[in-house]
């Protein structure tokens, strides 16, 4: 039995990429599904943060930093309406986190 015949028997004929096509389809579907899950997780998190911001609005606490009780800049609130901290406190929190 020649080497080519043994390879063909084990892996299919040289140039046959049908297994690769099937594997790449599975990979693509899996990747799309994972992207969908990640997107959903991000959206759920944003909805939760916006809901918390509405609760702070109802309590009269919206726009006040949860860390230092100073006002949050209106431009920051327009850009990120769900934020709970001013830029200075957020930077401090991020430095301490990392």
pLDDT of 69: 97
Backbone φ and ψ of 15, nearest 5°: 95, -10
| pTM, to two decimals | 0.62
pLDDT of residue 75: 98
- pLDDT for residue 26: 82
* Domain at 16-97, CATH homologous superfamily: DksA, coiled-coil domain (1.20.120.910)
Rounded CA-CA distance 16/80 in Å is: 53
Domain boundaries defined on the chain: 16-97
pLDDT tens-digit profile of 31-89? 999 999 999 999 999 999 999 999 999 999 999 999 999 999 999 999 999 999 999 99
* Residue 20 in this model has a pLDDT that exceeds 60: no
For 9-33, b where at least 16 C-beta lie within 10 A, e where not — what string?
eeeeeeeeeeeeeeeeeeeeeeeee
Q: What is the pLDDT of residue 97?
A: 82
């Amino acid at each position: 039995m020649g080497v080519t015949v043994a390879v063909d028997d084990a892996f299919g004929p040289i140039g046959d990429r049908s297994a690769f096509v099937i594997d790449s389809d599975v990979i693509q579907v899996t990747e799309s599904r994972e992207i969908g899950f990640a997107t959903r997780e991000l959206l759920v998190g944003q909805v939760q943060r916006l809901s918390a911001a509405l609760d702070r609005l109802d309590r009269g606490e919206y726009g006040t930093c949860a860390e230092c009780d100073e006002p949050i800049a209106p431009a920051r609130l327009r850009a990120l309406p769900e934020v709970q901290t001013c830029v200075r406190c957020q930077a401090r929190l991020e430095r301490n986190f990392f």
